[in-house]
Chain A
Amino acid sequence: MNQIPHYPQISISLTINGTLHELKVEPWVTLLDLLRERLLLTGTKKGCDQGQCGACTVLVDGKRVNSCLALAVSRDGAEITTIEGLAQNGELHPLQVAFIGRDAFQCGYCTPGQICSAAGLLAEGHTRSRAEIREHMSGNLCRCGAYTNIADAVEDVLMPRIAAKEAAE
C-alpha cells in the first residue's frame, strides 16, 4: 500500500467480511479502489467505475450498492461484505453453488457483482417471479450473455426460500 504523507488522511473504520479495519484514507478514494488497491480484495470488480455495470456490487450494511460510487470516507463505520466474505468456513454460499451448477458465468468478471447483487435481492424479499428476477438483477450487466443462466441460478435459491417462508406462515 502506497502512502502519500502530505495529504490529509481521514481515519475510518470498516468491518469487512467480519474483520474490523482501522484505515486512513484520502477522501477521494472510492470504496472500490480501497478494497482492490489497498486491501487487495480484488474479488470486487471494476467494470466501468461509473455505476453503469454493477460489477463492483458489494453489500454495505446488508444492502447491495455500487462500491465505485461510494467514497470510502462516507461509509465510515459500515459493515461490508464482498464476494470474499460470502462463503462461510470454506462452505460456498448457496448462490455460489447455484452459479457454478447453472454455468451462470463465462469470463467470470461480472460474477462477484452478480452474486453479491443476488444476495442483496434475496435479503430484500421483493422478488417472487422470473420477470422480477430479471428486473431486479438488471443493475448487473453481463457481456458474456449468461443472463438466462444467472436467472436460473437465482431462481434455484430464491424459489425454495419463498416456498419455505409461505409454508411457515
Chain B
Amino acid sequence: MSVGEITHIGRPTNRVDGRLKVTGQAHYAAEYPADDLLYGYIVGSTIAAGRIAAMHLDAARQFPGVVEIFTHENRSKAAWLDRSWRDEVAPPGHPFRPLHSDRILFDGQPVALIVAETFEAARDAGSLIRIAYDVDAHCTELEAKRAEAYVPPEQRSGIPPPPDPRGDAEQAFQDAPVKISRDYRVNAEHHNPMEMFATTCVFEGDGKLTIYDKTQGSQNAQGYVTSVFGLRSKDVRLVNHYVGGAFGAGLRPQHQLFFAVMASLELQRSVRVSLTRAQMFHIGYRPDSYHTVSLAADRDGRLQSIMHDAVASTSHYEDYQEAVVNWSGMMYHCDNVKLTYQLAKLDTATPCDMRAPGAAIGVTALECALDELSYELGIGPLEIRRINFASKDENTKKQFTSKALLECYSEGAAAFGWEKRSPKPRAMREGRELIGWGVSTGMWDAFLQKAQATATLKVDGTLEVATAASDIGTGTWTILTQIGAEAFGLPLEDVQARIGDSTLPMSPVEGGSWTAASNGSAVQAACDAVKHSLFKQARKMANSPLADASFEDVEVRDQRIFRKDDPARGLSVFEVMHAAELKEITEQGKVSPNLRQMLKYTSYTHSAVFAEVRVDEYLGVVRVTRVVCAAAAGKILNPKTARSQILGGVVMGIGMALHEEAMTDHRLGKIMNANLGEYHVPAHADIEDIEVIFVDEKDDKVSPLGVKGLGEIGIVGTASAVANAIFHATGVRVRDFPITIDKILNAPRPS
C-alpha cells in the first residue's frame, strides 16, 4: 500500500451495521428490555375540533392489568412557557402539548394514555374509554381555506422566505410570445417509516432516565425532555442507535416520547410507548399544496418570466413553513421572477418536514410546467432545460460552489438512451401500452451545519470516532467509520463509530442531507487533531526518527506514524503512546459553516431524472419501467450506500407520482386511509429498473470533505419526470398528484 493512497473514502463498502441488521440484532427504540416494564397506549380523539366534555374512564381503570390512565385532568406538571416545548426545528407558533387541556385541535389528537402491566392490557383497555365532546366546526380541506391564505408573519428559522420579485414578471409574461399558466396540486403525504414511533424510557432509580427513542436527533429530543419536564441535563440520556426510517417525521420529538417520560416519572417505573400505524398519520405530514405556475419564453425557449404562487396547509397552532417556490427563482436563468408562498390553516396536526420538504412539491410543479412550455415551444424538454441553465443563484446573486448539472443531463441522457426519443407524444408503443419518456431537473440544498466530534486513538492502535449523529438508514455508521479508517490508514474493523446517543459530541438533527458533510467533516477534523497530538508525542521521544519532521511530512497508517518520503523512518502508535505513558489520545473536532464564504457562494446538489412509463390508457394503468437519476453531489464517500439513498428517493418519488395521498373525509375531519393497506406506498411490484449515476463533481468549498449529501436529492424531480413521461406517452396532462387510474381515465383525450 503506497503512501497517501485512498483506501476507504469513495469505496463501495458494505454497511458496518449490516450484520446486525440482517440478523435482527440491531435494536430499535421499542426493543430495549427493562425490569418491571410498563406499557403505555395512547388513545386519540375522534373529532377534529372542540373540547372534551367528559371522560368516562372507570371501565378502563378497572380493566385487569391497568395501572394508571393519564388525561388532561390528572397529567403531571410540565413546563408552562411555549419556548420550553419548542424543539430545534419547531416552526413559529405554539408547540403542541399532549394532554395540556380539554381542547381538541385535530382528529387523532392524544387525549389519554393508558399504562398497564402488559401491552395487551394497555391496548385493550382503550376500547373501554368513553369520551363526550363539545364539537366545534372544523375544516380540513385546503381548497376551502385558500381564500384565507396568508403570508406567515414570522419566518421559520432556517427557511428562507421567497426572494423579492426581480424584473417585471407580469409584464414580461404579457409580452412574451409563448407562455403557459397552469394549476397543480400535490396532495398531502405521510412519511410512514416502517418502524412505528416508540420510546422505551428506562427509570434508572437514581433520578436518572435512559431513554431509547425513535428520533432523528438524540440531543434535540433530550433537550425537549429536560426542558418540558424540568430535568437536569446530566440526568437524562437519550439513545437512538438504530432508527427504522423517519424521512423527517423524527426531526421533532413525537407524542410517544412525552408520554413515556411523563408516565415513567409519575409512576417511577420504566415505560414503553409505541404509536400505532394509524396514529402515525397524526404526527405531521407533507402539507397539501396548490401551485399556480406561469412561464413565458421567447421563441428560442429562453425564459422571460417565471411566476410561482403556492398555498400550503398548516395547523391552527403553528405556522409550518418550507421553501416551496424559491426553487423556481434559481433553477433556471430568468430576469423576471415573482414568487409567493402562503399558508392556510386547517384543523390538522402541524405538517412536518418530509424528504426534501418544499422542493419535493415546488420543484414538481415547476418541472411539470416547464415540460408543458417545452411542447408549446416545440423544443425538447431536455433542450429547454439546457437552454435555461442558471450559472449562478439568481435569487441571491451568489455563485454556486459547484454545479455539474449539465453533466447530469448528458450522462443521464446517454445512459437512458434519450436520443432515441420521439419528440411527439403518443408516438411510442409496445403491445397494448403507450411508452413515454420524461425528464426533470432536481435540486436540493447542500448544507453544512455546526457539528462536533471526538476521535480517540487507543494504545492498541484502534480508533473510536464519536458524534451524536443519527443513522436513519442513511449510512452514517458506515461513512463515519470510513472517514476514521481513512484518516489513520486502518482497516474498517479497527475503527468503531459511536453515534445515536445524546451524551456524545454535539450534532444537529439528522435531516436536510447535511449529516455526511457536517458530522463527517467534524470527525475528520477530530482525526486530524489526534494525528497532530500523536505527531507531537512522537517528535518529543528520545531519538525520535521524526525529530526533524514537520506534520506535513508525516503519514499515519497501519498503526504507524512515519515520514512520507521514507516510510521506514517512523514509530508505531504503540511505541509513541507507551513512551508518553498514554492509553489513548482523544481530541475534538468541530465544523461550522464558513460565513465569509457564504457571502459569495451558495451550495446545492443537482440532478437530472429520466423516467420511462408504460401506460395502458384504456385501463388507466401506469407502470414506471425505468428511471435514471444522474446526480451531482460533490464527493461520494461510499458509492454503495450513496446509491441506495438515491434509489430510496426515487422510489418515494414514484410513490408521490402515482400512489400516495391522505384521503380525508372533510365532513369528519378524519383521514380515512390511515393504514398501509389503503395509503399506498410503492410495493416491490411497482419498482422495476432504477439506475443511479454520480457525475464527477469537485467542490472544495461546500464542506471540508467536499461532500454535499444525498438524502433528499433522489426524490426531487422524480414525480415530475414520471408525470412528464405520462404526458409523453398519452398526451394527457394530469396536474393533480398522485396520478391515479381515475385521473388518467377522466382526463380529456387528446385529439
Residues of A bordering B, CB below 8 Å: 2, 4, 6-7, 26, 28-29, 33, 36-37, 40-53, 55, 82-84, 86-87, 92, 96, 99-101, 103, 105-112, 115, 133-135, 137-138, 140-151
Interface residues in B671-700 by Cβ distance below 8 A to A read: 675-677, 681-685, 687-690
A96–B25 Cα gap in the complex (Å)?
Answer: 13
A112–B651 Cα gap in the complex (Å)?
Answer: 20
CB-CB < 8 A to B25: which residues of A?
Answer: 43, 84
* A-B contacts, CB under 8 A, total: 191
- Check A50/B22 contact, CB under 8 A, given A107-B472, A145-B652: no
Tell me if B37 and A46 are in contact (CB < 8 A).
no
CB-CB < 8 A to B247: which residues of A?
Answer: 143
CB-CB < 8 A to A37: which residues of B?
Answer: 39, 118-119
Known: A45-B194, A145-B682, A146-B647. 8 other contacts (CB 8 A): A4-B117, A43-B23, A46-B196, A83-B23, A108-B17, A140-B684, A143-B681, A145-B651
A42–B119 Cα gap in the complex (Å)?
Answer: 15
B277 contacts the other chain (CB 8 A) = yes
Tell me if A100 and B648 are in contact (CB < 8 A).
no
A53–B276 Cα gap in the complex (Å)?
Answer: 13
- Check A148/B24 contact, CB under 8 A, given A48-B676, A108-B473, A109-B244: no
A106–B26 Cα gap in the complex (Å)?
Answer: 12
Tell me if B474 and A138 are in contact (CB < 8 A).
no
A138–B685 Cα gap in the complex (Å)?
Answer: 6
A146 touches which of B23, B33, B246, B648 (Cβ 8 Å): B648
Tell me if B195 and A134 are in contact (CB < 8 A).
no
CB-CB < 8 A to B179: which residues of A?
Answer: none
Tell me if B677 and A106 are in contact (CB < 8 A).
no
- Check A144/B473 contact, CB under 8 A, given A50-B675, A109-B195, A149-B644: yes
Residue on A nearest B24 in the bound complex, by CB: A43
B658 contacts the other chain (CB 8 A) = no
Tell me if A141 and B22 are in contact (CB < 8 A).
no
B681 touches which of A29, A141, A148 (Cβ 8 Å): A141
A8–B30 Cα gap in the complex (Å)?
Answer: 27
Tell me if B26 and A108 are in contact (CB < 8 A).
yes
B687 touches which of A83, A84, A148 (Cβ 8 Å): A148
Tell me if A53 and B676 are in contact (CB < 8 A).
yes
Q: How far is the CB of B216 from chain A (nearest CB, A)?
A: 11
Tell me if B675 and A47 are in contact (CB < 8 A).
no
Residue on A nearest B683 in the bound complex, by CB: A138
Tell me if B685 and A42 are in contact (CB < 8 A).
no
Q: How far is the CB of B521 from chain A (nearest CB, A)?
A: 22
1/0 contact string of B635-656 vs chain A (CB within 8 Å):
0000011011101111110000
Residue on B nearest A153 in the bound complex, by CB: B22
B15 touches which of A49, A52, A86, A103 (Cβ 8 Å): A103
Residue on A nearest B19 in the bound complex, by CB: A100
CB-CB < 8 A to B242: which residues of A?
Answer: 107-108
Residue on A nearest B276 in the bound complex, by CB: A49
A143–B677 Cα gap in the complex (Å)?
Answer: 14
B460 contacts the other chain (CB 8 A) = no
- Check A144/B648 contact, CB under 8 A, given A42-B31, A108-B473: yes
Tell me if B244 and A45 are in contact (CB < 8 A).
yes
A135–B687 Cα gap in the complex (Å)?
Answer: 10
Tell me if B120 and A33 are in contact (CB < 8 A).
yes
B609 contacts the other chain (CB 8 A) = no
- Check A106/B676 contact, CB under 8 A, given A2-B37, A28-B124, A40-B33: no
Q: How far is the CB of A48 from chain B (nearest CB, A)?
A: 4
Which of B118, B274, B677 has the most chain A CB atoms closer than 10 A to its own CB?
Answer: B118
A40–B26 Cα gap in the complex (Å)?
Answer: 13
- Check A106/B22 contact, CB under 8 A, given A100-B15, A147-B684: no
- Check A103/B643 contact, CB under 8 A, given A2-B37, A108-B473: yes
A137–B685 Cα gap in the complex (Å)?
Answer: 8
